Every structure is written in structure tokens, then in C-alpha cells.
Amino acid sequence: MKQNKKTEDNVIFEVKNLSKVFGVKKADRKKGSGGIRAVNDVSFAIREKETFALVGESGCGKSTTGRMALRLIEPTEGDIFYHEKSIMQLKSGEMRALRKNMQMVFQDPYSSLNPRKSILSIVAEPLLIHNMVENKKQAEEQAKELLCRVGIREDQFDRYPHEFSGGQKQRISMARAIITKPEIIICDEPVSALDVSIQAQVLNLLRELQEEYRVSYLFISHDMSVVKYISDRVAVMYLGTIVEEAATEDLFANPLHPYTQALLSAVPEADPDIKKERIVLYGEIPSPMNFPSGCPFHTRCAYATEHCNDFRPARVEVKEGHFLACHHWERIRQSQRKEQEESHG
Ligand code: SF4
């Protein structure tokens, strides 16, 4: 697990009340009609040199949130701040210039690397696009240095992406993302297509690069074990909303939202002596086309009441840095403690 790493308080990136509804014309949005509500009122902030994870099941809206953060998808509502300045009004040219400070690494490195270019040109290209060097030779010198740093041999520089393994391609993607010395990189499921042994190597490389380049990561993943290893803080997403957010150690030691508890109960323990009961979720996952009233989790929550069906829980800070959206978290915690005490006799 990641060592206690002091995170600086310096917020460099923030999203506020971000929502995305697909398939609705602007005029109809105000009338509240239809569409697929992929992201619903999401807010978070990322500090300098911090890894902030968005975790949740497939389809929960985490990748859409990541793409909106870079305005690769335009939000329906909400605001995005880089160093406290909104980037929502920036024109496409200004946004392109800003992307040297805000890069992205995708899940599938093959589709994100141009198959017709050598890896040396792929990694050197961002320096030329953003006019960060005087000529191609300078760009290639820097690209060679960085490719060596991420573990690619010199004799491989002229090869094409298809000649590399998945892990190597992800290393090349990371070199391309970091060559402009960005302040933040959005990593969208960067290791989920890789074998477990390769995953660990790529995650370690991400951490080393973070130390060397002082970069922050928005790390998007469905895998709680990976998130536990790499992140400083975690936000758990369900049906387009953040239901719980806390420092990683706090969240894993003390999950309070029933959905987080269910997700964590499915994570295998390295120690076979630790026994834990898997929480199975029953009930329908609501369709984002027919977004439920009240708490989005109420159709699957074992603790749901009438109140949950009708009223959406507000996000509250239940202890320092630990945020939660649940009406009954105190009652749930008390009843779980009682059950534990009874089971221990
Ligand atoms: Fe469950 Fe209600 Fe809490 Fe939602 S608000 S998680 S339905 S108890």
C-alpha cells in the first residue's frame, strides 16, 4: 500500500457541480426532458502532486467525468477550474494550448498511439505542437531521454506501436503525456488491459514519474486494489454521482456508504486469515435514461427508507476530509457496530 504521503494543500484543479446529459438538445434540457444522465452534479478538487482516484463500476460516469475535465466532452452544466480560473469559456485554440499542462493517458494505448509513426516521433510530437523546442532535433533528443527513462531501449526508438507489448505501449503513452511537463495527467483505466504483473510495474512507474515531475493524477479505475495502491484520495462514483470521498487509508479502513462497503467487500484480502463477508447487492441498477428520484442508490440499498426514495442526500463532511452522501450513515454505523459486537460475543 502507498506510504503516508503528505499532500500539499495547493489545489491546482477543481470541478464544481459537473453534469453531463447525452442526447438532449439544449432547449429541452431546461424542461428537464429525457436523455442519458451520465454524470450528475460531481465536484472535487485535486492538489499539487496528488493522486485523486475516481472509482466505480463500469458505466458509472467516471470516464465521462475524466474527459469532461479536459473538455474533450463538453459538460451540460458545471464549471472547471485550473489554478482557480474557469476554463469553460476558453476557445478551442486556447484549450489546445492549455493541454500541454493537462494531458491524458487512455486505457487502450494502441488506439491512442498513431500506428503510422515511430515511437520516437510520437513522443517528440507534443513538444513541436506546443512550440516548446526550436527544432525537431531538440524534440527528439528530449524524447529519447524520456523513452529511456520509461524503460524503452535505444534500438527500439524507430519501431512502430504494433511492435510493442501492452505494457511497453503504456510506457510510451506515459512518456508522450509527460514530455510537456504537465501539472496534471488524467489516467483513464491505464492498467486495466494489462496482466497483473505488468500492472504493478506500470503503477510503480507512474509513482516514480510523479515524484520526478511533481505531476498530479486524476486516476480513473474500476479496480479497488489498484486504487488502494496508487491514490492519496478516493471518490466513489455510483450512477453518475460521487457517494463518498476520503483519504485512501481512511476510506479503506472506515467505509461509511453502503455502496462503498459493498465494493470493498468484494476486494480479495492478501492475508488468508482475514475473513470478510461479501455484501451482495440486490435490486435493479437504475437506467441513466430514467434517473431515479431521491438517493440514486435507493433501489439497491439494504438500509433504504421512504425518505431515501424521495430526497437526494446532500454531500456532508462527516469528519475532516471524509465526505458522504447518505441520510442514514450514523444509524447504519451504529447497527453495524452492534452486529460486530454481538458476533464477537
Ligand atoms: Fe441507502 Fe438511503 Fe443512504 Fe441512499 S441515503 S445510501 S438509500 S440509506
CA end-to-end span of the chain, whole Å? Answer: 32
Residue whose CB lies within 8 A of the most ligand 1 atoms, among 241, 303, 329, for a mutation test: 303
191: phi then psi, degrees, rounded to nearest 5? -120, 0
- Do the Cβ atoms of 62 and 15 come closer than 8 Å? no
Q: Tell the residue number behind the cell numbers 484520495, with chain if given.
A: 233
Between the CA of 313 and the centroid of ligand 1 the distance, in Å, is 8
Between the CA of 233 and the centroid of ligand 1 the distance, in Å, is 22
Sheet holding 36-47: strands in order across? 36-47, 11-22, 77-82, 85-86
The Cβ-side half-sphere exposure at 117, using a 13 Å CA radius, reads: 14
**What was the pLDDT predicted at 288?**
78
β-sheet bridge partners, residue 13: 46, 82
Measured by CA distance, the residue closest to atom 3 of ligand 1 is 326
**What was the pLDDT predicted at 29?**
54
Buried b / exposed e along 184-217 (16+ C-beta atoms within 10 A)? bbbbbbbbebbeeebbebbbebbeebbeeeebbb
9-344 CATH, one of 3.40.50.720, 1.10.287.980, 3.40.50.300, 3.40.190.10: 3.40.50.300
pTM here is 0.92
Q: State whether the beta carbon of 327 lies less than 6 angstroms from ligand 1.
A: yes
**What was the pLDDT predicted at 3?**
44
Between the CA of 178 and the centroid of ligand 1 the distance, in Å, is 41
Measured by CA distance, the residue closest to atom 5 of ligand 1 is 326
**What was the pLDDT predicted at 294?**
94
Q: Tell the residue number behind the cell numbers 432547449, with chain if given.
A: 27
Residue-wise pLDDT for 78-106, tens only, equals 999 999 999 999 999 999 999 999 999 99
Dist CA 66 CA 64 (whole Å):
5
**What was the pLDDT predicted at 345?**
65
Region for 131 from its dihedrals, namely left if φ exceeds 0, alpha if ψ lies in -120 to 50, beta otherwise = left
Domain ranges of the chain: 9-344
**What was the pLDDT predicted at 8?**
46
Measured by CA distance, the residue closest to atom 6 of ligand 1 is 326
The Cβ-side half-sphere exposure at 193, using a 13 Å CA radius, reads: 17
Q: State whether the beta carbon of 295 lies less than 6 angstroms from ligand 1.
A: yes
Element (H, E) at 28: helix 26-29
Q: State whether the beta carbon of 313 lies less than 6 angstroms from ligand 1.
A: yes
Between the CA of 186 and the centroid of ligand 1 the distance, in Å, is 30
Between the CA of 20 and the centroid of ligand 1 the distance, in Å, is 23
Rg (CA), the chain: 21
Q: Which residues of the chain have pLDDT under 50?
A: 1-8, 31
Look at residue 276 and give its three-state secondary structure.
coil
Between the CA of 47 and the centroid of ligand 1 the distance, in Å, is 30
